[in-house]
Amino acid sequence: MEQRDTQELLRSGKVGLGIELGSTRIKACAVLPSGRQIAQGVFAWENRFKGGHWTYPLDSVWEGIAGAYAMLADECSEKFGVRPQRFVAIGISAMMHGYLAFDKNDELLVPFRTWRDTTTGEAAGKLTDLFGVTVPLRWSISHYYQALLDREEHVDRVAFLTTLAGYVHWRLTGEKVLGVGDASGMFPITGNTCGNPESCGSGEGRPGYDPRCLALFEDATGIAVEGLLPRVLVAGEVAGVLTAEGARLLDPSGAVQPGIRFAPPEGDAGTGMVATNAVRPRTGNVSVGTSIFLMAVLEQALTSAHPEIDPVTTPVGDPVAMVHCNNGADELARWVELFAQVASRLNPSGDVSLDAVYEAVLGAALEGETDAGGILAFNNLAGEPIVRLDEGRPVVTRSPGSVLSLGNFMRAQVYSTFAALALGLRVLDGENAGLDVLCAHGGVFRTKLVMQRLLAAATGTPITVREGAAEGGAWGMALLALFTARGGGNLADFLDEEIFASSTASTIAPARAEVEGFARFLDLYETGLPIVERAVDCLPAWMPANEEDTPINVEG
């Protein structure tokens, strides 16, 4: 019966589709009206360091979307005998922020600059001073203003700025719009989200770009920047329909038909909140991938601006304090891959799965000393604004008297994944921003209990991992597509009553000994940060000889 029901839902176009362009994978996810995933497709891609910027070629965007969708459609055909032609709604999500600038003819002016860039420090600092609110390095307005300050040739021709999610949505629907959560990473949003309640209004009414900040920017530059930005929408609104051209981009086979409704495009922070059911005030979530970030939904605005905390919003515009770290599980993944190579050499005729290696080596982390036994690790593949590093160099070091064991080594690697986040949380604690629930998601949570337990130690907060936590943002975006299809309403109630009511979850409270052990590690981490600064001075970023365009594969 279930098989026939799913076939009918596919044939009648009642299934939702979410697509997310993450840092290492483009993922498509098809869900039933209940939110249950029935098929997925994945396409791996690599960012590049080119011309001083982290980037992805836009050709790869469309190759990846078509590839991920084709895999999803093939799975639907194989499992249910139906290749989708319509969906009840589609949603696009992507790595947040960054810089995509187009001229009046809709031509890209410079290669896509991602959230990972740390070249915008001067602009971010000046805008923070100008607005009186925190403007992070990766925000789109920081990229644009830095280009103005650097007198880049292209800036006089900019007619439209958007994010990666906004760009893909625009090409598929023709609509230059953005969900409020992603828009809050382009420019400050009205409401109690700016860290300055007096300047941002009461938070009532429709969210939009902060008029005070818009006026200040125009006074400082002579540019009416609002005319360059996408129109802001909230979750539940219809953000356009699939055009004939968009249908060909999504599905070159021609099976998918135009006219399908779209949800407002969102950033991966917003879809992470949805995927963990953390959209109500006093709830929060931690997303662990290429980057790592914590989102705390606030009851009211922060009392002041903090460089460690980004003022952003939920997909419906509620204020959120975001602690974002550029470096997440990349370096940890590289070490696991190294151990996988060792396992393959020890058993060359066997088939060693990467998940099995994760389980073995991460499991060893729980056997290490609670403070990692004096082993110190820094996971900085890129710069890290929270600890004021413009560039990164991964480093592992130890005192001669430390115990070099697999358990201590892996615990140090896991702790380093959470260290910068923990430093940012100290600031949030000072604001008395209470959290009743902190949910975690990301692929690393496929390994049961380990990352969850050590994240609890790092945050000092019980950590809940829900069923499907490894599905991530593509699933969250598919849920937002379903929410649009039903006509909107209260997003939190929709998630509670229609998606998560019957889901299972596990919660681990922090153990006192591990909280104390992590605190000792973090003290050593802070003391040792000059080691990374010195490594940056002594060790140049590696690049193959005579090869300017260098792919960097960072696994999340």
Rounded to 5°, angle at Cα 504 from 501 and 506 = 130
pLDDT at 487 over 90: yes
Query: CA–CA separation, 284 vs 91, rounded Å?
Result: 23
CA–CA gap between residue 292 and residue 459 (Å, rounded): 13
3-class state of residue 128 by DSSP: helix
Mean pLDDT, residues 346-365 taken together: 90
Q: How many CA atoms lie within 13 A of 223 on its CB side?
A: 17
Give the pLDDT score at 192: 39
Looking at residue 556, what is its pLDDT?
Answer: 34
| pLDDT value, residue 206 | 82
Q: Report whether 140 contacts 209 (CB < 8 A).
A: no
Nearest C-alpha neighbor of 482 from the set 163, 9, 11: 9
Q: pLDDT: is 428 or 49 the higher one?
A: 49
Could you give the C-alpha distances from 53 to 48, 117, 309, in angstroms and in order? Answer: 8, 6, 24
Average pLDDT over residues 49-78: 94
Asked if the model's pLDDT at residue 545 lies above 70, the reply is no
The pLDDT tens digits for 256-266 are 999 999 999 99
More confident residue, 551 or 4: 4
pLDDT at 102 over 50: yes
pLDDT tens per residue across span 224-260: 999 999 999 999 999 999 999 999 999 999 999 999 9
Q: What is the pLDDT of residue 452?
A: 94
Alpha carbon separation from 285 to 292, 446, 448, 550 (Å, rounded):
11, 17, 18, 33
Confidence band of 93 (pLDDT split at 50, 70, 90): very high
What is the SS3 string spanning 19-40?
EEECCCEEEEEEECCCCCEEEE
In 3D space, the residue among 42, 60, 65 whose CA is nearest the CA of residue 50 turns out to be 60
pLDDT > 90 fraction of the chain, expressed in percent and rounded: 68
Confidence of residue 469 (pLDDT cuts 50, 70, 90): low
Which pLDDT value is given to residue 269? 87
Return the percentage of the chain with pLDDT > 70, whole number. 94
| 520 vs 472, more confident | 520
Q: Give me the chain's average pLDDT, please.
A: 90
Identify the helix (H) or strand (E) that includes residue 123.
helix 121-131
- Residues 130-141 pLDDT 10s: 999 899 998 999
Beta strands in 367-452 (DSSP E): 375-378, 395-398, 437-441
- Bigger pLDDT: 300 vs 155: 155
Between the CA of residue 146 and those of 42, 116, 124, 139, 184, what are the distances in Å?
34, 15, 8, 11, 18
Sign of CA dihedral 296, 56, 65, 89: positive
Which of 261, 241, 236, 235 has its CA nearest to residue 180? 235
Buried b (16+ CB within 10 A) or exposed e, 40-78: bbbbebebbbeeebbbbebebbbebbbbbbbbbbebbee
The mean pLDDT value for 294-302 works out to 83
- pLDDT score of 214 more than 60: yes
- For residues 191 and 197, give the distance between their C-alpha atoms in angstroms, rounded to a whole number: 8
pLDDT greater at residue 289 or residue 522? 522
Q: Which residue has the tokens 């420090």?
A: 121
Distance linking the first and last C-alpha atoms of the chain = 38
- Token pair of 424 as six digits: 């940012």
pLDDT of residue 24: 85
Confirm if 267 and 163 have CB atoms less than 8 A apart: yes
pLDDT, average across residues 538-555? 55
Backbone phi, then psi, for 555, in 5-degree steps? -85, 130
- The answer on pLDDT for 29 being more than 90 is yes
Note the helical H segments in 307-440: 330-346, 354-365, 406-430
Distances 95 to 62, 138, 242 between C-alpha atoms, Å: 15, 11, 22
Distance of CA 291 to the CA centre of its chain: 7
Q: How far apart are CA 256 and CA 55, in angstroms?
A: 30
Q: Averaged over 483-498, what is the pLDDT?
A: 95
Element (H, E) at 90: strand 89-94
Higher pLDDT, 281 or 148: 148
Question: What CA–CA distance (Å, rounded) separates 147 from 142?
Answer: 9
Q: Residue 150 has what pLDDT? A: 97
Structure tokens given for 150: 């650097």
Residues 338, 528: Cα–Cα separation, whole Å? 25
Is the pLDDT at 552 greater than 50? The verdict is no
Are the C-beta atoms of residues 236 and 491 closer than 8 Å to each other? Answer: yes
Q: How far is CA 290 from the centre of its chain?
A: 8
Query: What's the whole-number mean pLDDT along residues 395-402?
Result: 94
One-letter amino acid of 544: P
> Tell me, what's the pLDDT at 82?
95
pLDDT at 541 over 80: no
pLDDT tens-digit profile of 424-435? 888 777 776 777
pTM > 0.85: yes or no: no
Place of tokens 């084709």: 70
Cα separation of 556 and 441, whole Å?
12
What are the percentages of helix, strand and coil residues in the chain, rounded to 5? 40, 20, 40
CA-to-CA dists, residue 379 to 209, 231, 248, 292, 455, angstroms: 35, 37, 41, 12, 16
pLDDT at 309: 85
pLDDT in tens, 160-211: 999 999 999 999 999 999 999 999 999 999 853 433 333 333 345 689 999 9
Identify how many contiguous H helices and E strands the chain contains and give both numbers: 17, 21
Q: Which one-letter amino acid corresponds to residue 454?
A: L
In the structure, what pLDDT confidence band is assigned to residue 116 with cuts at 50, 70 and 90? confident
Range name among 213-217, 238-242, 284-288, 528-532 with the lowest pLDDT average: 284-288
> Residue 468: pLDDT above 70?
no
Residue 470's pLDDT is: 57
Q: What is the CA radius of gyration of the chain?
A: 23
